[in-house]
Structure 1
């Protein structure tokens, strides 16, 4: 799976992280304090200037002082009983608006999804999980946006809010009550969608096969002893399995389309059980990647095959080029015991992106090799060859007892792992003029897996956090904007958050075509993105305006949530990887920070309106 940003340990992210912004998650605590202080100063100066124009300097200072002292005092006296009552009112209002229609729409989406999702996909679990998680995300965000953006403006229009403010209710109670009420409704809807999605995915993946009796052939040892049978299952749901049956009638239908089936004997019949292994929650232990070029010289990156995306680089086949991962903390706990108790093995999994310079035997895959190496002594295991198909996960179980390239018996723990727990994995492509592409996350040691159900719930928790942020921003926007404008403001906030990395690149003037004004000029004049402008005063003015706009955009980027990070957590589930606890904790803290910030801003904005005084 794609993992462009390493998931830092939580306290490293919180206290000592490296990076640029709070929304990126690096150096979060200090950067959050800087953002809060900056927003506070700007709001105070802006409010003072407005009051200065309207009332003069003395009155402006008095208003600013009363706003800060009185506002902070009111916030500290927020009544959770009143907030709960107002949240219940907001929830009832949502029900009156027929939010249950969203469940009907979601049910119809699931009902007709099988018409469009191809059951012959080689990774059907990823297809179904990605579909339900994506559909849920966009549907619940749209619903939250419509509920939260139009609620307060509608109350202003119908004068319902005038009745509320005659009671002992403060502006903060109103804002927080709306946020909690809409969050409660969204949480119930999201839980129902999650349950429906889990049933849909499991139901869509459920199937079995029959034993193809005609394909069975006896397996015998060299001395003629029966070892069981081998054959094929029936062809169902666009695939079939190789079948291995022991003499006692038990066996396994081997992996195809990312799953297996257990085989049992029931009287005179062989029965194939339900599909197993579709839903995974892999817990990877990742290493550090470096490359060797075609002459065997160490380098930081491989070669480019013409793809502008720099996430992966490639190694050329039939050369000394190699990808090398160095793992740390390898110990006896990293080994897994065989099911039959016949020793231990080190589980290694590898994702290969294949680039073909010529088609070759397209069904066979590209031949490669993998071996283990001691980083200090350079002792290596014998080459283990495999055939890689693009973007599939290849699993390798390295027995603890190995043979070195010098044909000497060695063990992983004693001869390949260094005293400080380091171990190297080396991968090469063997077919001439064919290429393997790798990123750091593409090779890992497989730790004991987590629960697929719990991982699915964590994926929905990431969707829930996105929903909460959207509700908080929309409610805050609705305290000073009309409904349609508040909705457009929140949509812009969401779109910029989804494309935050590109937005930051523009703000840092690193994108092709220059800044906003320069890009607009190039589009209007039909000028390409790379050619420089001839020096002139107009060009200097244009670049100066772009510089100012870029600084403003960079400042805005500090308060934009990185929604692509939340979507990345959902991809963990679809790809079959467990969402790390550090990542989930980090996202919860970021979500809480945005909710608190939106609440405070919304409180002061609503308090500034005459109806709330």
Structure 2
């Protein structure tokens, strides 16, 4: 089961934040550089520094694609001569014996596929990252040590072209390595899966919906019943009551219907709902079956048109629960008992609808949503004394599946973006320092970017927005320590307190900017999607990785160019 943030990546907000961060850091760096030149050598040094910076940007504008390509090809050939392709030996040895230890006849087919795909993509990542790190961080320092860099810069080649050519060349050789390993891994996965289980090797394309919870009195609540589970991922709906979870979908068109047989037969296409709910039992009950779940389909434009699914089903925990909804549904009038037939797409799906849904975090407010081809589904539990655990990704409309190769190679593309980021940062670091230091610096950024950057950025964002609870910035905390004040005590309003708050906001804002210099490497962790049989969505998964890589590319190219331009290339 893939647990993910279902919000689309806010590209416009990301571009605005990127512009602010780059602008602030560039402005601070420029001011510090000019001040250092002015203090060290006076007005003449200041003028030389301004001239050197202007010349550097002129170099960038006069970059020649031909020379960049020539340097890229030279880097490609040098990397091949450094036996970079020997990584295939390790890769081959791992795959020769992997089948012995990963195959299990007792495992469900979907879990077996998860093991195979996770192993392949994780192995490729563990092999390609150290290779990219070493090639990127040791190339330029080694050329400077051997004085071959001096031979290059004496030719009509600009420093910006050296940096850009190095990045393109290293990315090229690593792309070749990645494609070969990815292709071999795909063939290995397909050959490991028996023919009888090949149908499980797909990429599901889900349509997720918005979720709202309602209690036993049919009143909106921010979350379901608290059953004492320390993991708050799911909220629980009380059984045999009016309590339910309301899912609001849009984009329900004839194109999302699937063949129930999955073999292109003559059966009428159905709306396929897949769920992964969890049951919480207050007593054992009937242990031979799961807790009963029932769907009710509601037209969002006219809530009076509602059809209760006549086929409730028991959930099977920790595996897929697929429920096919036919296009023709029959409902019985509660008062008259007369049967009426509804067409799913014509009667229950609203072509256009405007719905007001309660805000999950503030029930006194509501938000208006305009739906196109919308459908609402109420999920309720039928068993008395039992509870149904539901989270937003637990129910989705399963549209026609994509080939497994689509999701798999999207994950390979994500690894390629990560390789490009590592090469960019490594080459930039090597323009300033020697190989070991550049390697350590880049590796430290990778470790923090994978394990700690989300926590750090979230903490600083809360401080900047004033959502940190008690306490404030560093100046406020120092004052509280000296005055023996606890964090719950408020300061008396004064000019000094106002100045202190402004200084803290400026300091924390600067820390927020600095924290975003570290890339968020969790954006590249895409192996979970093909491993669990899901397609990789562009707006939620791939776009953040693309934005992160290209967001670092432009500033790093400029920084690397300036570092190489002002570095002494004759020093060993």
TM bracket, shorter-chain basis: 0.7 to 0.9
Q: Are residues 1:279 and 2:201 paired?
A: yes
For residue 294 of structure 1, give the secondary structure of its aligned residue in structure 2.
coil
Q: CA RMSD in A?
A: 3.4
Supply the distance in 2 between the matched residues of 1:140 and 1:511 (Cα, whole angstroms). Answer: 39
Alignment of 1:27-426 (within 5 A): 27-56=13-42, 58-117=43-102, 119=104, 120-122=106-108, 123-207=111-195, 274-307=196-229, 310-336=232-258, 339-356=264-281, 364-375=289-300, 376=302, 377-406=304-333, 407-420=339-352, 421-426=373-378
Name the stretch that deviates more: 96-105 or 178-187. 96-105
**Shift in Å at residue 444 of structure 1?**
1.8
Partner of residue 358, structure 2: none
Aligned mate of 2:459, from 506, 519, 528: 506
Distance 1:562 1:302 in 2: 32
Give me the whole-angstrom Cα distance separating, in 2, the residues matched to 1:360 and 1:488. 58
Say which SS state the counterpart of residue 225 (structure 2) adopts.
coil
Distance in 2 separating the partners of 1:7 and 1:33: 20
* Residues 312, 437 of structure 1: 8 Å contact kept: yes
Partners of 2:136 and 2:471 lie apart in 1 by 37
Q: Which moved more, 1:166-175 or 1:85-94?
A: 85-94
Report the TM-score when normalising by structure 2: 0.81
CA-to-aligned-CA distance 1:264-308 (integer Å, 9 cap, x gap): xxxxxxxxxx43322212222222111122343222322344455
Which residue number corresponds to residue 574 of structure 1? 531
Cα deviations across residues 47-81 of structure 1 (Å, max 9, x unaligned)? 1122123211x124312321332111101121222
* Offset at residue 400 of structure 1 (A): 1.0
Contact 1:371-1:382 at 8 Å conserved across structures: yes
Classify 1:352/1:118 alpha carbon distance in 2 versus 1 (closer, same or farther; 3 Å). farther
TM-score normalized by the length of structure 1: 0.76
Aligned residue pair count: 517
How many angstroms apart in 2 are the aligned matches of 1:369 and 1:125?
Answer: 30
2:427 matched residue in structure 1: 475
Choose which of 519, 531, 542 in structure 2 pairs with 1:561: 519
Partner of 2:5: 4
Which residue in the other structure is 2:481 paired with?
none
1:488 is aligned to 2:474: no
SS in 2 for 1:140: helix
Query: Partner residue of 1:14?
Result: 11
Match of 1:19 in 2: none
Q: Which has the higher contact order (CA 8 A, sep 6+)?
A: 2
1:461 aligns with 2:449: no
- Secondary structure at the residue paired with 1:302? coil
The question of 1:587 aligning with 2:545 is answered yes
Residue segments in structure 1 that go unaligned for 5+ positions in a row? 16-26, 208-273, 522-531
Per-residue Cα deviation, 1:474-510 (whole angstroms, up to 9, x for no partner): 1101111222221221122222322322111332457
Q: Are the structure 2 counterparts of residues 342 and 455 from structure 1 closer, same or farther at C-alpha, using a change threshold of 3 Å?
A: closer
Going from structure 1 to structure 2, the CA distance change for 1:357 and 1:55 (only over 3 Å counts) comes to farther
Mapped to 2, the partners of 1:486 and 1:612 lie a distance apart of 19
CA contact (8 A) 2:88 2:181 kept: yes
Q: Aligned residue for 2:366?
A: none
**Does the aligned pair in 1 maintain the 2:206–2:399 contact within 8 Å?**
yes
**Residues 309 and 76 of structure 1: CA distance in aligned 2, closer, same or farther (over 3 Å):** farther
Taking a change above 3 Å as real, the CA distance of residues 194 and 342 of structure 1, as seen in their structure-2 partners, is: closer
Equivalent-residue separation in structure 1 for 2:488 and 2:266 (angstroms): 75
**Which aligned pairs between 1:413-452 and structure 2 lie closer than 5 A?**
413-420=345-352, 421-452=373-404
